[in-house]
Each structure stands twice: as C-alpha cells, then as structure tokens.
Amino acid sequence: MDKSITHSAPARAAYLGGLGIAVGGAVLFSTKAIVAKLLYRYHIDAVTLIAFRMLFSLPVFAAIALWKMRTQPPLSNADRLRLIGMGLVGYYLSSFLDFLGLQYITVGLERLILFLTPTFVLLISSTVLKQHISRKQWLALLTSYCGIVFVFLHDLQGGGNVALGATLVTGSAAAYAIYLLLSGEMVKRLGTLRLVSYAMCVSSAACIGQFFLLRPVSMLVQPLPVYGLSLVNGLLCTVAPVLMTMVAVERIGAGVASQAGMIGPVSTLFLGALLLGEPVTSWQLGGTALVLAGIYLLSKK
C-alpha cells in the first residue's frame, strides 16, 4: 500500500473536520440576527436583548478568564486599560449598534453590511496608518460596496427606517474593525482565547450595567420563550462560534477559516426566508454574490 495515501487520509480528514467546524461556527454566528428578530416579536428592546444575551454567555467567558488568570502571567496596567477599551468598542458598542439596527432592516442586509468589516479594516489602515491600497484591493472594495448598494436599494422599496438601520449596522462593522486593528499586537502576546474572554467580560459588564441603569428590574421578568431564545443567543450564537472559529483556525489556518466564513451571509439569507418569512429576491442574491466576490478577493490578498 502506498504510504502517502495512508498519511494523507488522516490529514484530509482533519482538514475537512476543521473546515466543517469553521462553516458551523460561521452559520451559528450569523444566526444571532435571526434569533434577535424572533426576540423582537416579544416587544423587548435592544438594551434588554443584549443584556439577556450577555447574562447567558458571561459565565462561560468568566470561567475561561479565571482559568487564564491562574495559569498565565498577570497583565500590566497598560494591557488592562487596552482590554477595557477593546471590550467596550469591539463587543459592547459593536453588538449594541448591530441589535439596534436589526430593528429596522432585514437579516440579509444586516449580515452583508457586517461582512464588510475587512473592508473597513483596510480603509482605516489606509487613512489612519497610511498603508498603501493596491489596485486589486480597490477593485475588491468597489465590488463589495456595489453589492451592498444593490440590496440596500431593494430594501428601501419596502419602506421603514432602512437607512437608519443600515447606518447603525455600518457603525457596528466599523467599531469591530477598530477592535480588530487594536487587537492585532495583543493577540500575539496574550493569545486569542485569553484576549476574547477578557474583552467579553468587559462587554458583559457594560451591557448588564446599561440595562440596570436604563430599565427597571421588573424587565427581567419575561415570557418563557424570551429566556429560551436568549439562551440560544448567548451560548449557540455567541460562545460556540468563538470557540469553534478558534479550533478551526488552529486546524486549517486563518485564511481558509475566513473564506469558510463566507457561508454566513448566504445562510442568513435563506434562514431569514425560512424562519422569518423574509423574501429572497434576485436583487438580494446578486448583491450577496458581489459582496462575497469582493471579500474573496481581499482574503486572497
């Protein structure tokens, strides 16, 4: 028997397993928009929604943070301040703007706008860090933004505050892009799991504290489905995708994992049609294809 075959079979199985984990993580993370729309049917607002999400996800991230605190060297004061800032920008502000925007736009448009995060990273790097953008990258940006315009113009025909919702979600994507730029150097020193767990704890404290400042304690009493959907939102749509993406990156590399994440907008589009009754039109399919093509070009770079 050829030894190369015996060696390649386990490697191929591990690669396909990592790819499957990456796809699963992308689909679960994208599903949070679906869950949010279902929660809004129970007449709760974004402040309450995000507080319940963090209440269910906080115990897991707090346990990971405590474990890392006991097994890793202590943080410097400068790193603590950076982590507080990153948690507030990357997970609190970004998530809050996202859930606010979801009150006004379809899940398909929301996911496409959030998928533009790499383009915001590129634009911020160009304007603030003075990094050069190549012709191929400009083409990728143009392709992606044309796709967003397609879907946005289509959704405008349905009425409502689509422009407001799109603006809020664009702010969410920009905030997360800033978080990614700030986290680059710290990830190398602290590791992804430690960084994410600390930042999520900061974000959870902000979201839960915001709830108690702005809403009466009686708002914690909700119909049973709200608790069930919030549990799904906190564990399956927040904790699980973070851990699955990390495992996938370890197995197949960040490049392939990010390309596997392109299934997210597509899955959101069809899940929105299946679970929320949102129509899938040729405009949306065409816009989604353009956005995915643009991000694919960037990922190849």
* Per-residue pLDDT at 105: 93
Q: Is residue 9 part of a domain?
A: no
Please give the C-alpha separations between residue 292 and each of 109, 118, 154, 224, in angstroms, as whole numbers. 13, 12, 18, 38
Which regions of the chain are under pLDDT 50? 1-6
Q: Is residue 178 part of a domain?
A: yes
Q: Is residue 8 part of a domain?
A: no
pTM above 0.85, yes or no: yes
**How high is the mean pLDDT of the chain?**
88
Q: Is residue 12 part of a domain?
A: no
What is the torsion angle, in degrees rounded to the nearest 10, for the CA atoms of residue 234, residue 49, residue 284 and residue 141? -80
Q: Is residue 10 part of a domain?
A: no
Per-residue model confidence as pLDDT tens digits over 154-188: 888 877 789 999 999 999 999 988 988 888 778 88
Residue 238 CA to residue 234 CA, distance in Å, equals: 5
How many domains, the chain? 1
| Total residues belonging to the chain | 301
Domain range for residue 197? 20-297
* Per-residue pLDDT at 121: 83
* Per-residue pLDDT at 300: 67
* Per-residue pLDDT at 284: 85
